[in-house]
């Protein structure tokens, strides 16, 4: 026993690497190792001999295994020390770049147009996305037989049997905010109302939810000339062009009289839209002088005050400015799309709680 112990403990101490250590382990305590063979001889011994040899062999096996484990740990420590002596890390190097969050193009467009209108004296007004049909339709001079009030165009909220509250809808435009603002603030008034709206429509240029900004200006001497100037200044600033030509086409909206759809002069070249030049026209918004009945619905005397209103699709503006071909991409694209079209957060607080540069 003592010879085996001295033999293998000496070999373990002299082992230069883990490969040599494994060879020693197999020779000593493996299934066919010397200690295992000694264990098999126990059956040939008398009970008195087994009582002496059995514990001695178990103790030898445990001692060899302990020596193997200790030597293996010592070899691992030595290898690590060698690596540390030959390798080094420059802790002054900058870290690897990490991806940061980006603003969605719709949020970016909202921030830009809010800043532009703020420079012209417009404040931001907000209101509920679920509203009564009175605010969404009646107060805006939209008659009961108007197609927009049909369930195929408007999302109506479910009403339980016996519910006597007025019908509620997902707002189809942000115009209800204009009525609520007139009720709350009176006149004179100059506001924009950005936010999400809902209509039962879905194709390449329409989605059930989209974003709109509506503007309202009320005073005693406001005219279409003021409307034209505001829209021209906005378009020049938003699309970053020095000159722009707008075309006002007579139209009909229940909430304005007279009403006009507004086109912008543009050109398409090699699939790229250029604003302010060319021979083409592109419709971008609807507008007009606020109907007297709408002013009266807001609690303001239409004999004293008049004003203009306009409505623009924020999603459409973002598509035109950033070259996004399909409106549906705003809602069903993945992070790769947002990394391509997204914007870095800005340095000052903004409408969406981010930072603006």
Q: Which residues are annotated as a binding site for Mg(2+)?
A: 257
Dist. CA 284–CA 347, nearest whole Å: 30
Q: Give the β-pairing of 306-313 and 280-290.
A: antiparallel
Nearest CA-CA partner of 146 in 252, 280, 305, 21 = 252
Answer whether 75's CB lies under 8 Å from 18's CB.
Answer: yes
Q: Locate 205 and state its tokens.
A: 């240029």
Q: Which residues are annotated as a binding site?
A: 257
Contacts of 213 (CB under 8 A, 6+ apart): 110, 113, 174, 192, 193, 194, 195, 311, 312, 314
**Long-range interactions of 46-55: CB distance < 8 A, separation 24+:** none
Answer whether 346's CB lies under 8 Å from 357's CB.
Answer: yes
Q: Locate 70 and state its tokens.
A: 């200790």
For tokens 């435009």, the residue is 173
Dist. CA 82–CA 334, nearest whole Å: 47
Dist. CA 311–CA 298, nearest whole Å: 18
For tokens 């019908």, the residue is 167
């Amino acid at each position: 026993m003592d010879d085996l112990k001295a033999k293998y403990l000496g070999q373990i101490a002299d082992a230069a690497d883990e490969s040599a250590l494994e060879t020693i382990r197999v020779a000593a305590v493996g299934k066919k190792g010397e200690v295992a063979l000694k264990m098999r001889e126990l059956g040939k011994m008398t009970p008195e001999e087994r009582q002496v040899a059995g514990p001695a062999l178990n103790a030898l096996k445990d001692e060899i295994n302990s020596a193997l484990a200790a030597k293996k740990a010592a070899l691992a420590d030595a290898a690590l020390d060698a690596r540390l002596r030959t390798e080094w890390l420059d802790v002054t190097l900058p870290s690897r770049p990490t991806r940061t969050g980006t603003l969605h193009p719709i949020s970016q467009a909202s921030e830009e147009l809010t800043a532009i209108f703020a420079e012209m004296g417009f404040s931001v007004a907000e209101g509920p996305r679920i509203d009564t049909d009175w605010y969404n339709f009646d107060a805006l001079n939209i008659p009961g037989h108007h197609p927009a009030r049909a369930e195929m165009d408007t999302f109506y909220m479910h009403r339980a049997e016996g519910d006597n509250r007025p019908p509620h809808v997902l707002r189809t435009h942000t115009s209800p905010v204009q009525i609520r603002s007139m009720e709350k603030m009176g006149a004179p008034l100059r506001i924009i109302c950005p936010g999400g709206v809902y209509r039962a429509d879905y194709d390449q240029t329409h989605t059930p939810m989209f974003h709109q900004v509506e503007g309202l200006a009320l005073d005693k001497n406001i005219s279409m000339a003021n409307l034209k100037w505001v829209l021209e200044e906005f378009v020049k600033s938003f699309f970053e062009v020095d000159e722009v030509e707008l075309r006002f086409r007579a139209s009909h909206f229940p909430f304005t009289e007279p009403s006009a759809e507004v086109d912008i002069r543009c050109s398409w070249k090699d699939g790229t839209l250029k604003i302010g030049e060319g021979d083409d026209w592109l419709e971008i918004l609807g507008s007009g002088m606020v109907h007297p009945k709408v002013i009266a619905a807001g609690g303001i005397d239409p004999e004293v005050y008049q004003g203009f209103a306009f409505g623009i699709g924020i999603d459409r503006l973002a598509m035109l400015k950033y070259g996004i071909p399909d409106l549906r991409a705003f809602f069903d694209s993945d992070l790769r799309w947002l990394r391509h079209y997204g914007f870095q957060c800005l340095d000052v607080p903004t409408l969406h709680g981010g930072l603006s540069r």
